[in-house]
Every structure is written in C-alpha cells, then in structure tokens.
Amino acid sequence: MNAAKDKFMRFLRSPWIFLVVLALILALTTLFSSPGARVEEISYSEFLDMLDAGKVESVQVVDNQLKIKPVGNPDGGLPTYYTTMTVSDEYLIDQMRAAGVEFSASEPSQPLSILDLLMSGVSLIMMGFMVYWIVMLVRSSRKGGKDGGGGGLGGFGFAKSNAKQYDVQKCETRFHDVAGQDEAKESLIEIVDILKNPGRYTSVGAEIPKGALLVGPPGTGKTLLAKAVAGEAGVPFFFVSGSAFVEMFVGTGAARVRDLFKQASQKAPCIIFIDEIDAIGKKRDGTGFSGNDEREQTLNQLLAEMDGFDPEKGIMVLAATNRPEILDKALLRPGRFDRRIPVELPDMKGRQEILQVHARKKKMSPGVDLKRVADATPGASGAELANILNEAALAAVRDHRDAITQADLDKATEFVIAGSEKKSMVISPEEKRIIAYHEIGHALVAIKQKNAVPVRKITIIPRTNGALGFTMQAEEEEHVLQTREDLTNRLEVLVAGRAAEELMFATCTSGASNDIERATAIARQMITRFGMNDEIGLMALDTVVNPYLDAELRSNASPEAAAKVEHEMKKLINAAYDSAMRTLRENAGMLNKLAEYLLLHENITGDEMKSLMDEEQLSAGA
C-alpha cells in the first residue's frame, strides 16, 4: 500500500501533471468564458430615430457597419450595443455633431481561430515549464549545497558522473590476461596488495600512494591493466573518460568529479580509472576567461578531490594518457599521481606472448607458428596483434575452414601491414615489369648485405594502402640498439628500388616516393638525433614531439645549421644509392632472373628467392 502511495505521489509531482492541468485551465477558460456585452442588430431608420431622440452616446464605424452605444443601459443588465449597416448618407456626420455624439472608425477585429488558441496554449505551457524548471533548479541547488553534491545541475542529471562501474563479479580480467607488459605488471602488483592489505603499509609509517599514471602509445593495454588491477584486488572498478567531464555548461565537469569521488567513497575500497586524462589535465596557461574556463575548473576540482580523500579507505586513482608532456605539473606531483608506469610497445617475446593470449579464444590448426607473426610485426601494439588474429579468423571463415592456418596468419599480417590485395587494379605490362624490377632491387640488395635482415616475401600485387608492391623483411632477433651500419644498410635497401629502375630502364618513376620519404627520415635522424655525422657532430638539432603518438620531429637548428644538415643528408643518401647501384650491377643476371620469376608468379617467398639464387650460382660455377 505504501509503495502504491509513493508511486502516486511521485506521479503527482511529475512536471507533466503541471503542464496538463495548465492546458486544461486554458481550454476551459476559452470555451466557457462569457461575452462582455449584448449586441442587437437594428435598421438604419431606427438608428436615425435614436439619434434624433438623443439616445445615442457614441458611434463607431467598423468596416461596413455602425456600432452604436446607447445612452445609459436600457436593460439594466449587461451593456447593450446596436449594430446596423452603413448607407451613403452625406448628412450623417452633421447630424451626429449637432446631437453631440462621439464618432470614430476602427479596423475590423479578426475572429479567434483554433490555431490562435493552440499557439496561445503552447506559449502558456512553455512558460509554465520554464517556471517549473527554475523552481526545481533552485530546489536542487539548495539540496546540492547541503549534501556537497552536484550543485544546481544535480537535479537534472548534468552533475552525475558518467563513470561505468564494473562490480567484482563482472570484472573478470586478471594479470594472466595481460601479456607483453611484465614491467608494468610488476609495478601494479604492489597497488593490488595495498588495496587488499592497507594496514600492512601504514603499520610501518608508509604513506599509501593515491594514484598511478599509465603512460604509453595507443593500443598497448593501459585500460586492460587497470581492469586487471581491479580484478586481482577484487574491488569495484569505475571507468570514465576524461572527455566526459568537459561540457558546455560551466561547472558541470567539476560537479561530475565531485559526484565520481562521492560514489567511489561509498564503494571503497575501489579503483577509479580515468582514461585520456589529458582531456582535462592539460597545463594551465592562463588562456581561460577570468579563471572560469570549464577545463581548468574541472582540473582544479580533481586536484582538490585527490588531496581530500583518505587513501587508507582504499581508493586508488589510475589514469592513462599517451601525451604525458602536456599534463599539468600539479597533477604529477607526489601525493596525487605518485607513480608513472610506462606501458611501452612490446618486444618480440612480448608480441609472441600477446598472440598466445589472444589465440586462447581462437581455434588454431596444429603446427601454427605464432613466432613467425611476432617476427614480422616489429613496433606493433597489442591491439594490432589482436586484430591480426581476428583477421586470420575471418579469412578462415571466408575459405570455409573451421580452424586458423598459418596461411591465414600470413595473409592477415600482410593485411594489417600493407592493406588487402587490390587485384582488380589494371596495370599495363610495361608498368608491371618496372614494379617487379623495383621490388627485386630491394630484396636483392637486402640479401647481399652483411648481417642482412631476412626477406620474408616479395609481391607485386597492389594493395589498398596505395602500394603497388612491397618487400617484407623480418628480424629473427630483437635489437635494442641500432648501429650506424644497420641504418646505412636500411638506407641502401630503401633506395635500391629506384636504382633498379634506372639501371634496367634508364628512367625513374613515382613508385619510389614512399621509399624516398623513409630514407630521408632515417638520414635526418642519423644526423640530427643520433650524432652519426662527423660534420654536424654530437648535437641534437631535432626534438621528438608526442613520442607516444606520431613522434614528430621539431627542429631546433638555425637556418645555417639546417642548410648544413640538408647537405649532409643528401651526401648520406647519395652514398647509399651508389652502393645499391654497385650491388645491382654486379648481380644484373640474378636481378633479371628473379624479376622474370616474380612477373610470372606475382609472389615470391624468401626461401624461394634463396633457392633461385643458389641455382643461378651453381649454373654460373658450372
């Protein structure tokens, strides 16, 4: 009974009840309103008789009628007016003047239409709704001021945090679900222990850290690590994006921060995870409007909340960003985000472990070699590796197989690296021949180098990313350092395609554009960042901007130094080109044989290429 009564009372307090009652009052007022006067129609002669008898007080000409107001009120009730049709009477004005009658003329009034009634009703309803909104806003503002909630915007949900809460039962991610990030997991294991046993640390006087910042490129598993911490600790997990705090209403972001920490304090111990914290944590540079900038207010509230809560209650704030260089220093000081945990791109061992984790949920054929995929994907993130396995599964389904094969994995790797095959593209035989010699030029120079990176595959099938063909190389071992010789070898391989074009066809094409861009970037870094040029010396003339995103270079060189850098870059690339051209001239017969084979088959594996080269050498020796 009480529940039904409460439901009925909530129904009565609904704003729609207020609006419906207002509309009904308007309709009843319009329908049942009584007229303000009684009107009778008389003849023109009767009007003249009244005028002669002095019984007319005023006359109003309305369109083609005369509205006559008599002297006094003959009926003693409602006011009575008489109307009559006008006639052409040139003496009427003189008669009315002689009798002392007031007379005037006016525009005819339009009758009130249904549309007019509807518009008036809508206007009144909107006004009523605005009044109701303002009243509720004031009430919620007072209530919010008492309980420290979201202020005047709380009653309408503006101040409510958009954090998604994952309960203990739903947060099933554990550390064994995260691979390739051993160092990051080691740093987070202590946070798990703190959430489980905070007294263990406070007993020796240790201050419990309040937050940790996960820093790394996109797709490396920062959010997954945060969920794993919550899963290992067995505590609720609040997930929210930094952009969810920034709204057009000033004060909304700060109110949402207050509401988020209020929810977290009720669920403690728990974890708050703020993804892309750079959306609200940018450096304060004073460009806001008199301190009222919404982002700055939100940041200030976040700083205040992190200072205000008791870490012994078990609230841990984790945040993730791939732009740590733009964060405000106040956010990174000890006592707020105490720890900075790098989540880097995985190495070769890490890539293989990540593939194994994602392969658990896939049906794999016996003998599949995941290390082969890991070798071919240096610099790939965990998300990209997961995408490779997913594409391999899709390829298996398209070919009507019930398990993923090695061919599916190789095809998926090529798809992620270079895009899908574009077999419908029409290429003339002459252009296809140039492309074949171009790609074989890359591969032949790579194989002939000392400590060469093995060639995995050469193809002249166009790809959707714009490549007309490509040569895939795959390191068998992970290298932390790059020597001058390694970088010089990469330069020679990159310019070898253009060298093969000029050697065999005495021309050059636009197909080497991407090779030239990559060679130029390597040469510049060798000179301006790695100190591998005797003329420039050990000077850093370029600085990396956004290292976890596009790693763009910002030049710090003077105009004179920049000109010298370009001169040395040209020398370096020209030397690599001359070396590649020399290798191709010395192996012109091999270049022709391999190019013809590639034209015939469109694809060559590294093993096939080695067999063809061994056969050529045997026949030459015989």
The rounded distance, in Å, linking the Cα atoms of 124 and 82 is 35
At residue 491, the 3 state secondary structure works out as helix
* Closest residue by Cα to residue 386 from 355, 363, 362: 355
DSSP 71-109: SS-TTSSS-EEEEEE----TTHHHHHHHHT-EEEEEPPP
DSSP 317-371: EEEEES-GGGB-HHHHSTTSEEEEEE-PPP-HHHHHHHHHHHHTTS-B-TT--HH
Contacts of 108 (CB under 8 A, 6+ apart): 62, 63
User: Do the Cβ atoms of 191 and 231 come closer than 8 Å?
Assistant: no
3-state DSSP of 545-563: ECCCCCCEEEECCCHHHHH
Helix or strand (DSSP H, E) at 455 = strand 455-459
β-bridge pairing 542-545 and 552-555:
antiparallel
β-bridge pairing 56-62 and 102-106:
parallel
Token output for 421:
């095959």
Burial class (CB in 10 A: 0-12, 13-18, 19+), 455: buried
β-bridge pairing 211-215 and 315-321:
parallel
Token output for 323:
């732009």
CB-side exposure of 580: number of CA atoms within 13 Å?
A: 30
Annotated catalytic residue, options 294, 305, 439, 568: 439
Catalytic annotation present for 172: no
At residue 211, the 3 state secondary structure works out as strand
The rounded distance, in Å, linking the Cα atoms of 265 and 315 is 7
User: Do the Cβ atoms of 324 and 304 come closer than 8 Å?
Assistant: no
Which residues have a catalytic role annotated? 439
